[in-house]
């Protein structure tokens, strides 16, 4: 039996979805989601306001997959399933942005796109991945103020809590959270396909590490004391932190590190050898809020990141 693949199946991008979603108020930030149901797999595109924004990319874990992670400025970010092959969707986003501006190729007109991928082949038995056309479709469908939650976009076939075996993992997806502090806006969006389990603020495992026979979820330390884990490969958490608060280069870089480190509270264990965790911190630099320090912004964004992780697996 031939495995379904991109060049042997007529793939039609799906861009219209129903279900839980986050509504937020961040003028100019447009988010597009596209999927191939035949995978199922998908990609999620964050199209920044005109002109783009300064960015800092924090790459952790032992198995990352990125493109453009050295950029200090970006116009869009594309997260996708399909492991390494899903990076093609990022190139599709860049191609569509080129088409939207009339195919101009001046040095100062080329728009930069950062890409990150998750390994989502585990739950499915085919090789279909988010390709160039899916990336283009996601960008064309982008709109302001709405972010689909759960098993959508890049999180379509995401799973979490595979520390002890893939069978003990559970479906997850993409989550988001937003807050406004005066004129400062900050939003966090994440694709959770983690080796570790999702933990709430009471310390309870809410997704992953699930005993298939008993239907119960076990805390990490308790489970480790009972048995040794099997390192299931193919895990990654991809996160975007975007704010309109003006930040210098050093502060933006530290925001990325601070928020990324904070995710270890929500995902346990985190940054493992078999994880490829990536966080992109972006500022559009539109607001000067002297009452909000960069460190305080990091605290707020870190709490939003925890909220976003919890929102990735809505019941």
Return the active site residues: 236
Contacts of 191 (CB under 8 A, 6+ apart): 44, 79, 118, 153, 154, 155, 158, 173, 174, 236, 237, 238, 239, 312
List, in sequence order, every residue forming a beta bridge with 32; answer none if it has no partner. Answer: 45
Q: In Å, how far are 30, 43, 125, 191, 283 from 27, measured between CA atoms?
A: 8, 22, 40, 22, 13
Calpha distance 89→138 (Å, rounded): 9
Could you tell me the end-to-end alpha-carbon distance of the chain, in angstroms, rounded to an integer?
36
Strand boundaries in 103-235, DSSP class E = 113-117, 143-144, 146-148, 159-160, 170-171, 173-181, 184-193, 197-199, 205-207
Q: Which residue has the tokens 């893939």?
A: 166
Helix residue ranges, H only, 62-195: 87-100, 132-140
- DSSP H or E segment with residue 106: none
Tokens of 265: 């509270």
Q: Is the dihedral of CA 252, 287, 296, 298 positive or negative?
A: negative
């Amino acid at each position: 039996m031939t495995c379904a693949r991109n060049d042997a199946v007529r793939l039609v991008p799906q861009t219209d979805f129903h279900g839980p979603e986050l509504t937020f108020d961040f003028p100019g930030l447009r988010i597009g989601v596209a999927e191939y149901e035949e995978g199922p797999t998908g990609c999620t595109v964050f199209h920044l306001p005109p002109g783009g924004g300064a960015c800092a990319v924090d790459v952790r874990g032992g198995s990352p997959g990125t493109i453009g992670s050295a950029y200090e400025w970006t116009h869009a970010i594309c997260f996708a399933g399909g492991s390494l092959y899903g990076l093609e969707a990022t190139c599709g986003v860049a191609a569509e942005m080129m088409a939207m501006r009339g195919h101009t190729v001046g040095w100062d007109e080329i728009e930069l796109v950062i890409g990150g991928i998750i390994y989502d082949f585990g739950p499915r038995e085919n090789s279909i991945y988010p390709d160039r056309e899916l990336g283009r479709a996601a960008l064309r469908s982008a709109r302001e103020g709405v972010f689909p939650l759960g098993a959508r976009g890049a999180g379509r076939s995401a799973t979490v809590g595979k520390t002890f075996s893939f069978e003990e993992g559970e479906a997850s997806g993409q989550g988001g959270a937003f807050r406004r502090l005066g004129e400062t806006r900050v939003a966090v969006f994440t694709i959770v396909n983690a080796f570790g389990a999702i933990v709430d603020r009471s310390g309870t495992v809410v997704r992953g590490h699930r005993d298939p026979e008993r239907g119960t979820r076990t805390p990490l330390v308790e489970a480790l004391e009972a048995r040794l884990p099997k390192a299931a490969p193919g895990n990654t958490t991809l996160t975007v932190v975007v704010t309109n608060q003006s930040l210098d280069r050093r502060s933006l870089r530290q925001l990325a590190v601070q928020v990324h480190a904070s995710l270890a509270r929500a995902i346990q264990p985190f940054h493992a050898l078999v994880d490829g965790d990536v966080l992109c911190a972006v500022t559009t630099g539109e607001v000067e809020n002297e009452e909000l320090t960069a460190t305080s912004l990091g605290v707020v964004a870190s709490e939003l990141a925890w909220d976003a992780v919890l929102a990735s697996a809505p019941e």
